Amino acid sequence: MSILIALETSENERVAERALDLHHMLHNKHSTLVNVRFLEHTRGSYEYQRTLTAEVVGGCRALLANGHTGLTVGHRDGTALLQGWYSLLSEKRAWRNDFLKQICRIFDYDISRSPTPVDVGLALYICDNLTSLEYKLQEEVMTVVSALVSCVSGATDLVMVLESSEVDGDADDEIKGKHVEAAKVGQGGRLSMESVVS
């Protein structure tokens, strides 16, 4: 399924349409088997986009025609790359809400439990898709907001890191390339200072 969903995000319209048609057929025949592991499939589409361009963060393909940076994210001409998939899931309320909740889990990161850092590019890709999806009901937007609120409300480690972070330099300097002193949760849940380059 990850490959099909990734191909739905292809720049080649014919490939994207064929992948969506096949996905639609599988969705109609085997919906309970197809509508699982949403975050894993989203990660697959992100990885596919990374093979197309070196940086899948902070822009969109529509900006390339206007001479802006060549950065790509989760939408094309204002339409989310995952819109076709989301349209299939919109048939049933439970599928739609599960999809939104599961892809919002990328933002639920606990520093003390997970040694591997969050893939910022994937988080931006998902964020851009969430902002570009065509929501039909207010409930869909509230599901996303509720999932994000639960992520932020439980992020006490993140709050401690942000509160204790300091950037080298003056207040009006750019942050890019500066060293940031950030508190990092070490073993045993204790905070330790570590220099991070951003």
Amino acid making up residue 198: S
Q: What is the CA radius of gyration of the chain?
A: 19
- The pLDDT tens digits of the residues spanning 21-80 come to 888 888 888 877 777 888 899 999 898 888 887 655 543 443 444 444 444 456 566 788
Sole residue written with tokens 């070490």:
186
CA distance between the termini of the chain: 35
pLDDT of 126 higher than 80:
yes
Q: From residue 38, give the alpha-carbon distance in Å to each of 34, 126, 130, 185.
A: 9, 11, 13, 29
Q: At 192, is the pLDDT very low, low, confident or very high (cuts 50, 70, 90)?
A: very low
pLDDT of 141 higher than 90:
yes
pLDDT of 138 higher than 90:
yes
* DSSP 3-state of 63: helix
pTM of the model: 0.68
> Out of 41-45, 136-140, 149-153, 182-186, which region has the weakest mean confidence (pLDDT)?
182-186
* Strand-pair partners of 75: 80
Euclidean distance between CA atoms 150 and 131, whole angstroms: 18
* pLDDT value of position 14: 92
Over residues 163-189, the mean pLDDT reads 55
pLDDT of 5 higher than 70:
yes
pLDDT of 182 higher than 50:
no
